[in-house]
């Protein structure tokens, strides 16, 4: 992922269905643009089994090109930083309670892989309902 300078008027984009990245051996095409106060986050890879923490220049170029296809106004945005994001996934999200003692319950909420941002709002709502149910049981 990379953070670039802010561009006014952008909307969040998440494209998980294109064929971008297929030629690089990625498991699926992916591109996302997330405007924030401190810049714009650009990203999009799904490389199963790749745990390398070093920024790959070729991947960075591909991410930027893919995001430019979605939002050409990013053309002149300056790169502020680049990072590698490891997003472990599971076949399905784990979102459930696990009572440990009569007064201690753990709420598991993980396993989204790269879809964490996309699913965060719905999962947060579900966690609130689980907490309410646990509190109501006591």
Domains of the chain (ranges plus CATH)? 2-82 (3.30.9.10), 89-137 (no CATH)
Determine the Cα–Cα distance for residues 90 and 116; give it in Å rounded to an integer: 12
Ramachandran sector of residue 111 (left: φ over 0; alpha: ψ -120 to 50; beta: rest): left
pLDDT digits (tens, 9 = 90+) for 102-132: 999 999 998 887 777 777 888 899 999 999 9
Q: Which of 110, 16, 112, 123 is nearest to 70 (CA)?
A: 16
Determine the Cα–Cα distance for residues 102 and 26; give it in Å rounded to an integer: 46
Model confidence, pTM: 0.71
For residue 26, pLDDT beyond 70: no
Determine the Cα–Cα distance for residues 100 and 125; give it in Å rounded to an integer: 23
What was the pLDDT predicted at 27? 46
Least confident of 19-33, 35-49, 62-76: 19-33
What was the pLDDT predicted at 114? 72
């Amino acid at each position: 992922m990379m953070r670039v300078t802010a561009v006014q008027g952008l909307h969040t984009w998440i494209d998980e269905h294109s064929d971008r990245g297929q030629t690089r051996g990625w498991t699926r095409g992916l591109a996302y643009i997330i405007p924030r106060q401190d810049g714009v986050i650009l990203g999009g890879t799904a490389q199963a089994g790749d745990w390398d923490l070093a920024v790959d220049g070729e991947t960075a170029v591909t991410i930027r090109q893919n995001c430019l296809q979605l939002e050409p106004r990013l053309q002149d945005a300056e790169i502020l930083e680049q990072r590698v994001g490891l997003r472990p996934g599971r076949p399905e999200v784990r979102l459930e309670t696990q009572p440990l003692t009569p007064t201690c319950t753990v709420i598991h909420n993980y396993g989204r892989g790269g879809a964490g941002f996309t699913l965060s709002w719905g999962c947060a709502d579900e966690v609130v309902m689980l907490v309410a149910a646990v509190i109501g049981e006591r």
